[in-house]
Amino acid sequence: MIQLGVNIDHVATVRQARLGDEPDPVRAAHEAELGGADGITVHLREDRRHIQDRDVRLLRQMVKVKLNLEMAATDEMVEIARDVRPHTAMLVPEGREEITTEGGLDVAGQVSRMKDVVAKLKSGGMIVSAFIDPDRAQVEAAARAGFDVCEVHTGPYAHAFADHGGDFRRQALVCALSDVAEAGETIRGAGMRFNAGHALNYHNVDAIAGLPGIEELHIGHAIVSRAIYTGLREAVSEMKRLMTIASIPADT
């Protein structure tokens, strides 16, 4: 069954706006678990703009489901990951000026470096994932570097969905979805797990959740935004329900 990893970075963003102690992302993780989350995702950035070291360490102790640590492929982050030992370490690109991660990791341009980082993380007992664009060259490079998982960047699909009002008769939207699906086939063919995420929401998630062989979606902003109105537990539960329905083949 398809799984949902809930990204709680934006809970920490609200906390850091006042440099206080609430809302606490550790408590948010508990609410997400009660809502049915299969995993909790956080991104410990170099500039610590939202998630803090304290959060990662407490989450590793408290989370009862999978903990996925998004991280840049830097020596500092590798050492933190090897110390904390999240269940999954996901390598992502990181820019100081971006609000959130934009674009996939260029594995193809740094295969040798990625092999070294992946090996160090795996030796620490972690499953290692690459956040990549839906591009065959990046998938093939990820396989050569030894990644266990590829998470396909769904931002282009989400933007096409918004631009065309979710009308799948529009070729641009069909192509964007096809790009994700084809990347997924290549990922699975290379023996890696096929995950996806970025800019998915309650309106556009169905088509992605219904792709063959997809194992897990990571969703944050849409869920935290919905939680302002409904509460985090209910927001997670509703997203999980939509994903599960979409992932069940029509002929069953």
pLDDT reported for residue 96:
59
Largest CA distance in the chain: 52
Give me 136's structure tokens: 């065959």
- Please provide the average confidence, as pLDDT, over all residues in the chain: 96
What domains sit in the chain, N to C, each tagged with a CATH number?
3-247 (3.20.20.70)
Give the least confident one: 16-25, 92-101, 213-222.
Answer: 92-101
Contacts of 118 (CB under 8 A, 6+ apart): 91, 128, 145, 146, 147
Taking 60 as the threshold, does the pLDDT of residue 235 lie above it?
Answer: yes
Question: Helices 171-189 and 136-145 sit at what angle, rounded to 10 degrees?
Answer: 20
Please tell me whether residue 89 adopts helix, strand or coil conformation. strand
Catalytically active residues, by annotation: 43, 70, 198
The pTM for the full model equals: 0.94
Sign of CA dihedral 89, 204, 139, 100: negative
Q: Which whole number is the average pLDDT over 247-252?
A: 80
pLDDT at 249: 87
What is each CA distance from 102 to 39, 80, 107, 184, 186, in whole angstroms?
Answer: 22, 23, 15, 20, 22
pLDDT digits (tens, 9 = 90+) for 60-107: 999 999 999 999 999 999 999 999 999 999 999 986 555 555 689 999
| Tokens found for residue 177 | 């979805």
Residue 147's Cβ-count burial label (10 Å; 0-12, 13-18, 19+) is: buried
Average pLDDT over residues 202-209: 98
